[in-house]
Amino acid sequence: MGFWKNVENECNYRGISRKELAAAVHFSVNTISSGIKRNGMPEADLALRISKVLNVPLEQLLPQQQIDITPIDSNTFVQNHQLFTNYLQYVQKIEKLPPQTRKSLLALIDSL
């Protein structure tokens, strides 16, 4: 569920109307309706004010996302960590390059 749908559910649970929430947080009642329709996220400060008025942690209102984590064996982890350690300094240097130079360099690496 999206942020605004979670807010709506929390309001229903607590018996708070959209109008009451809007007045307490100082925003338009239409903000909730349009947020639900668009499935959007409010600005961070508004989201925080809403969580405080509803007396719930902000994380409880944020959309829950499924994260697919594929377990790896310890040998693969150690190998990946070693690669990261060996090449981090180069990655950091590449990140500092001008965008066009970086793009050219990465194209060259991709062609290998």
- 36-64 pLDDT, tens digit each: 788 888 889 999 999 999 999 999 999 87
**Strand (E) or helix (H) holding 72:** none
Higher pLDDT, 40 or 13: 13
- Residue owning tokens 């639900």: 36
Give pLDDT, residue 68. 64
| Residue 6 pLDDT class (50, 70, 90 cuts) | very high
Asked if 1 and 39 touch (Cβ cutoff 8 Å), the reply is no
Angle (CA) 74 75 81, round 5°? 85
Give residue-wise pLDDT tens across range 23-34.
Answer: 999 988 888 888
* Type of residue found at 73: D
Give pLDDT, residue 69. 67
Higher pLDDT, 98 or 38: 98
Burial environment of residue 53 by CB neighbours within 10 A (0 to 12, 13 to 18, 19 or more): buried
The answer to whether the predicted template modeling score (pTM) of the entire model surpasses 0.85 is no
